[in-house]
Amino acid sequence: MNNKSRLSIFFFLLGALLCLLPVMALPWIDFFGIEVRTASELIPTLAKVDHHHGLQLEMPIYLIRQSFVPFFTELNPIYTYLITIIAFISLSIFLFELKKWSKIPTKQFVLGLGIWLLIMLYKLFPFHKNELIHTFGNLSLVSSLSSFVSLSILSSQAIPHLILQFGKKQEFRKTKRNYSILYAFFIIDLLFGLYIQNFGNSSRPEMMVTYLCLQWAIFWFQIVSNPILTHQKWFYTGVYLLAVPGLLWFLLHQNDAAIRFAFEWNFHCTFIMAFLFPAFIYSNFKEIFTQNLALHTVIFKAHRINIYLYQVGVLIIGLAWTFAKNASLFHVFLAGYYNQIGDIEQLSGKPELSKISYQMAQSNSRLNLKSNFELSKSSASDEEKAQYLNYTLTKRPHPFTYISLGNIYKNNDHAFQALFTFQEGFEKFPESAELATSVAIQFEKLNQPQDALKYYQMAANLDPKNASLFANSLYAQANITQSKVDVPEGFEDDLGVQANRLALYLLQQKSSHYTFDPGFQMQHNVQHFAYLYNAALLLKKQMPVYNFSNIQKNEALYNTFPELKLLEAWQNYYHEKPLLGLDQLSLIVAQDTTAKTQGLQNILGFWKEATLNSESHLTINNLATAQQALAAHPFTIKVLQKAIPILNTHHQQLQAYQYTLAALRYNENIAAYYPIYAMQALELSEITYAKEAMESLKKLDLALYVQEKGRFDKKLQEVLTKQKF
């Protein structure tokens, strides 16, 4: 393969890659300035979580409600950096071609280029990053827009040229018929496009980009396959390197005005050339046409009036057409230009200037999405935000815009206006599960539970594979219907779903063989908290022991979810450490200064009563069983009477004293604990505390005091005797 063939293949592949790049990128680009994230809310509700001997403990449990929160997309500076590099490569190609065409001596060329670079360096010194982005971004923008204008003119004959190639047949009669039919369809399509532009809504940016890339790809293949243009291929390469990446740049920056300008200017050029092209063929190739020869091979070799003169005519007529129609296309051009300038200024750290640029863009084209989204994002006034979002709804209604607008009304206490906005959006986009969810939440806030339930179910049906919407259906079942139907299965890996499922089990008072995830790690997330909290309340003793030490190291977690301290006490209480759980809960109650104190007191009272009435069936005959029995049943009189002496025998008097003190502290109105504590206090020679306990017993239960007085006096005398020695 010779060098000429390799170069042809290189040009072919380069053009194919460039023209296909924006089209291939379309599936991964969401050409809209708003996206939504799923946000989880904790919704408390009351449930009966435990019972003991006729007593029931009612506590708040937590449901997860998923909502969709809109946010404006952010600019990624990498695209601007890449287009700047490509622009410099393209300009270098142009300069090299200019040197060849003008035959400028190398020394003069290098000198001129060097002087220009020195001027640029002097202007940019001391090379701040923001100034570099601003300067080279502007240079890339102007170059890209110029290439759009040039390439649209140069490629304006691409479709008629293609018709000449595919319409030719062996017989002249069939050739003329094919030319007539294909050209008629082409003209009709152009007239329909002109009607759409003037009396209908403009095409979607994705469709515009696809059409432009398709036409430019056809023109590129015509250039590459034509040996007459061999010496101009580098020039066209420079144009394409500016135009196609520039188109992708505008697409990634969601600059719909710039894309619309490129598309409509290209359409104008193609429309004008469609009527000039027959005159070009007639004036140059009338004889060849009648001989049924391959006209497409000689298009760029006209012997009377060159195709470039007709392209100059396209430029002149195109400009006249633009300004004859109130310069609407020129204003679209300015809107696209200022939008991109605003992006460059934003990336270069000049937010005030960028806002002015977006305002300039909006004044030139009021309904372009880009400037309205950017102005809404930067506005400090909710009224202005709503105004700009309403402009975008006029141009291009979208579910996320309705959600954004409705949220603004909702946050400003316009509940019904928010509801009407969500409903209007759902009427236009009945397939949007996000809008259905927004309507449901708003109905719920307006105390319309049946309407809310209807839309929750509708949202779940619209997207049955969405875990968030399934979690909302469980939430509605728990918080709105409070039905006793079976809890549906599915989405076991989603913690929001699992939290609501656990809450339903608690509300329905159903026993469930639920398995808690042993590998669960608590994170700063409401779904994680609700899952851990509801599981602990439901499973109790069956709940695996969770290590709270890692959570204790994270102060932010405790600040966000103070109920985690209650969970730790809950775990200790139900895992054979009731005294530790009671102590932890008592400390929480003592430190609590909020309205939750009453609820915590109820839990404390229930635990004390349940612990007091707990029954032990353990055989207490050694130190280990004594300690085990005291830990599990610290308030049971029989356990205290059997276990305390064993601890004393094994020189664990202090531990025994702590158990008796705790039993007395939590049950001050029960006389039976006073003599037990008093006798253990004497074991540690705490005579004063022992006497105080007996005096309290005397006031509380005189009969028991008289019964225990002899045993106490005897023990007291033994202690006093020991102290003498």
Convert the pLDDT of each residue in 273-320 to its tens digit. 999 999 998 888 888 888 877 887 888 888 888 889 999 999 999 999
Proportion of the chain above pLDDT 70, given as a percent: 97
If you average pLDDT over residues 550-575, what whole number do you get?
Answer: 88
Q: What is the pLDDT of residue 573?
A: 92
If you average pLDDT over residues 160-189, what whole number do you get?
Answer: 88
Cross-strand bridge partners of residue 41: 65
Sign of the Cα pseudo-torsion (213, 216, 220, 222, in order): positive
Q: What is the pLDDT of residue 482?
A: 67
CB 673 within 8 A of CB 651: no
CB 42 within 8 A of CB 529: yes
Name the residue among 486, 513, 502, 569 with its Cα closest to residue 538: 502
Cross-strand bridge partners of residue 597: none
Confidence check: pLDDT of 693 > 70: yes
CB burial readout 528-537, b (16+ within 10 A) else e:
bbbbbbbbbb
Strands (E), 21-162: 34-52, 55-72
Confidence check: pLDDT of 595 > 60: no
What confidence category does residue 502 fall into, taking pLDDT thresholds of 50, 70 and 90? very high
CB 705 within 8 A of CB 697: yes
pLDDT in tens, 62-118: 999 999 999 998 888 888 999 999 999 998 888 888 888 888 888 888 888 889 888
Tokens (6 digits) for 589: 């109650």
CA-CA distance, 490 to 488, in Å (whole number)? 7
CB 579 within 8 A of CB 631: yes
Name the residue among 439, 409, 445, 413 with its Cα closest to residue 424: 439
What confidence category does residue 527 fall into, taking pLDDT thresholds of 50, 70 and 90? very high
CB 491 within 8 A of CB 497: yes
Mean pLDDT value across the chain: 89
Q: What is the pLDDT of residue 94?
A: 87
How far apart, in Å, do the first and last CA atoms of the chain sit?
A: 116
If you average pLDDT over residues 424-441, what whole number do you get?
Answer: 96
Confidence check: pLDDT of 589 > 70: yes
Lowest mean pLDDT among 85-99, 136-150, 339-353: 85-99
Q: How many CB atoms lie within 10 A of CB 724?
A: 5
What confidence category does residue 569 fall into, taking pLDDT thresholds of 50, 70 and 90? very high
Q: What is the pLDDT of residue 512?
A: 66
Confidence check: pLDDT of 40 > 80: yes
Q: What is the pLDDT of residue 679?
A: 92
Q: What is the pLDDT of residue 150?
A: 95
Confidence check: pLDDT of 484 > 70: no
Q: What is the pLDDT of residue 213?
A: 92
Name the residue among 272, 280, 271 with its Cα closest to residue 299: 280
Q: What is the pLDDT of residue 559?
A: 86
CA-CA distance, 569 to 574, in Å (whole number)? 9
DSSP string, 507-530: HHT--------TT----S-HHHHH
Q: What is the pLDDT of residue 533?
A: 95
- Taking CA 105 as the corner, what is the angle to CA 100 and CA 110, rounded to the nearest 5 degrees? 95
Confidence check: pLDDT of 356 > 90: yes
CB 356 within 8 A of CB 362: no
Q: What is the pLDDT of residue 44?
A: 93
Q: What is the pLDDT of residue 613?
A: 82
CA-CA distance, 616 to 585, in Å (whole number)? 23
If you average pLDDT over residues 405-413, what whole number do you get?
Answer: 94
What SS3 string covers 325-386?
A: CCCHHHHHHHHHHHHHHHHHHHHCCCHHHHHHHHHHHHHHCCCCHHHHHHHHHHCCCHHHHH
DSSP state of 594: S
Confidence check: pLDDT of 1 > 60: no
CB 59 within 8 A of CB 606: no
| CA 293 to centroid of chain Cα atoms | 60
CA-CA distance, 159 to 541, in Å (whole number)? 77
Confidence check: pLDDT of 30 > 80: no
Q: What is the pLDDT of residue 417?
A: 96
Confidence check: pLDDT of 725 > 70: no
pLDDT in tens, 310-338: 999 999 999 999 998 778 899 999 999 99
What confidence category does residue 127 fall into, taking pLDDT thresholds of 50, 70 and 90? confident
Lowest mean pLDDT among 13-22, 428-437, 507-516: 507-516
pLDDT in tens, 371-401: 999 999 999 899 999 999 999 998 889 999 9
Confidence check: pLDDT of 456 > 60: yes
CA-CA distance, 582 to 570, in Å (whole number)? 9
Q: What is the pLDDT of residue 596?
A: 62
Confidence check: pLDDT of 261 > 70: yes
Q: What is the pLDDT of residue 483?
A: 63
Q: What is the pLDDT of residue 330?
A: 94
DSSP state of 30: -
pLDDT in tens, 227-252: 888 788 889 999 999 999 999 999 99
